[in-house]
Amino acid sequence: MDTSDKRPFGFWTATALVVGGMIGSGIFMMPAALAPFGWTGSIAWIVSIAGALAIAYTIGRMAQAMPEATGAVAITGAALGELAGVLVGWSYWVSVWCANAAIATAATSYLAAIVPPLDATPWAGALTSVALLWLLTLLNLAGARAAGRFQVVTTILKITPLIAVIVIALSLGVRGEVHLPAFPAEQAVIASIATAVTLTLFPLVGFESAGVAAERVRDPERNIMRASMAGTIGTGLLYILVCSAIVLILSPDAVTKSSAPFALFVGQFWGSGASQTIALFAAIAAIGALNGWVLIQGEVPLGMARAGLLPGWFSKVSARDVPVRVLLLSSTLGTVLLLFTASPTLGGVFQFMAILASCATLWLYLAICVAALVRRIAMPTAAIGVAFSLFAFWGAGWEAAGLSVILMLTAIPLYFLRPKATLGDGIDLVH
């Protein structure tokens, strides 16, 4: 097989995978969730972005130290042992197909702003989300190269609604028409910051995409670090600007009740026609994010199986090196989740799946940072990553964190079914 087919992602495509995975459903639904927090939400963005950068840098350094690893999960298993690798990798995989269900739901929510029948009933919304999930699954079955090209195009398009919000906010500021709310008392910020940080984490999930899909990235020692840091910094700055603009300029009640806050914001200042256009671009953004995460949902178990962390069933690929079995299994589970959580409001479905996905993802962030501390690599940023992960767990609450533990423990039977051999191709478990 041509090396370019096995590793089709250069710096720009890897960066598009990072940005595309981050800019999707989360940011376009997040203003409604953060509206009650006001300025505290803006502070939470800064804390979360700092934590994400620390973890992204740690993952990049670990990839440089272990370029032979098939991804961040395999690195964790090599440093902390096979059981830790299986549990963390499985939890991350669960978070991905849960997130895909949430992203498909968000895409449907914005499409319904243009075509209301798509969301006329709970079942109509659920079935539309299922259709989107399987369309992107079919695209990924064609191979990583096709999915990567689609990711680059949708990443360019999805920035449009973010730029529109920034332009409106700047024009209002220049004309002196912005009346921002008062900054809350210090006690109020401290009381709500943990919850706000947990909420802002979900839109940031995806900064690790290049590290997770390391097996598809050319020159991983160099490109994973560059793509992860560039994508996280650029996207984080956009997030702070656009989300804060919507939350601080509009009425908190109006934003909280909106299922399409970006369209609400643009429509209020540029009219209903612009609102419809932004809704379309927001839907494209969510679809682009869904494409990237469908790719990741196949790469995680494939990389684990090739590293000896899962049974060989998960490592079977097509002639295009596509993990067909795993993609079909993941999308089937996402479909079941969508159908079982069909509710009168898409916002309710999104919130449930977003919290679950965030908590399940935190285990990988915590583990990769602990692995870096064990290997004495990037110790300052790894320590920050550990502290941030624990803080986010606390903000999520015991119920969500406990559910993520239960889901993670379902991997124990697979641990005993894994190949009884040294982890990975030449990755030493001890040293």
Q: How confident is the model at residue 351 (pLDDT cuts 50, 70, 90)?
A: low
Are 202 and 52 contacting, i.e. CB atoms less than 8 angstroms apart?
no
Identify the CA nearest to 352 among candidates 120, 99, 130. Answer: 99
How far apart (Å, rounded) are the C-alpha atoms in residues 131 and 124? 11
- Domain assignments of the chain as residue spans, ordered by start: 3-178+189-417
With cut-offs at 50, 70 and 90, classify the pLDDT of residue 152.
low
Cα separation, 244 vs 360, whole angstroms: 27
The pLDDT of residue 319 is above 90: no
Fold of 3-178+189-417: Amino acid/polyamine transporter I (1.20.1740)
3 pLDDT more than 70: no
The contacts of residue 21 (CB under 8 Å, 6+ apart) are 205, 206, 207, 209, 289, 292, 293, 296
Going by pLDDT thresholds of 50, 70 and 90, the confidence category of residue 208 is confident
With 50 as the cut, is the pLDDT of residue 429 above it?
no
At 217, phi and psi to the nearest 5? -100, 130
d(CA 313, CA 323): 10
| Res 103: pLDDT | 82
Q: Which residues pair with 217 in a beta bridge?
A: 9
Residue 273, pLDDT above cutoff 70:
yes
Alpha helices in 142-219 (DSSP H): 144-174, 186-204, 209-212
- Count of Cβ atoms closer than 10 Å to residue 229 Cβ: 18
Per-residue b or e along 239-254, where b marks 16 or more CB atoms closer than 10 Å to that residue's CB:
bbbbbbbbbbbbebee
Task: Sort 429 into a burial class: Cβ within 10 Å, 0-12 / 13-18 / 19+.
Answer: middle
Computed over every residue of the chain, the mean pLDDT equals: 81
Using a pLDDT cut of 70, give the percent of the chain over it: 85
- At a CB cut-off of 8 Å and minimum separation 6, what does 188 contact? 40
Instruction: Determine the average pLDDT of the residues in 198-222.
Output: 78
- Residue among 141, 302, 140, 149 nearest 214 (CA): 302
The DSSP element (H or E) to which 347 belongs, if any, is helix 346-375
The string of pLDDT tens digits covering residues 36-87 is 888 888 899 999 999 999 998 998 888 888 877 767 788 888 889 889 989 9
**pLDDT above 80 (res 255):** yes
Calpha distance 402→407 (Å, rounded): 9
Q: Each residue of 25-36: pLDDT tens digit? A: 667 778 888 888
Q: What is the pLDDT of residues 377-412, one digit of tens each?
A: 999 999 999 999 998 888 877 877 888 898 899 899
Question: Can you name the residues that pair with 9 across neighbouring β-strands?
Answer: 217
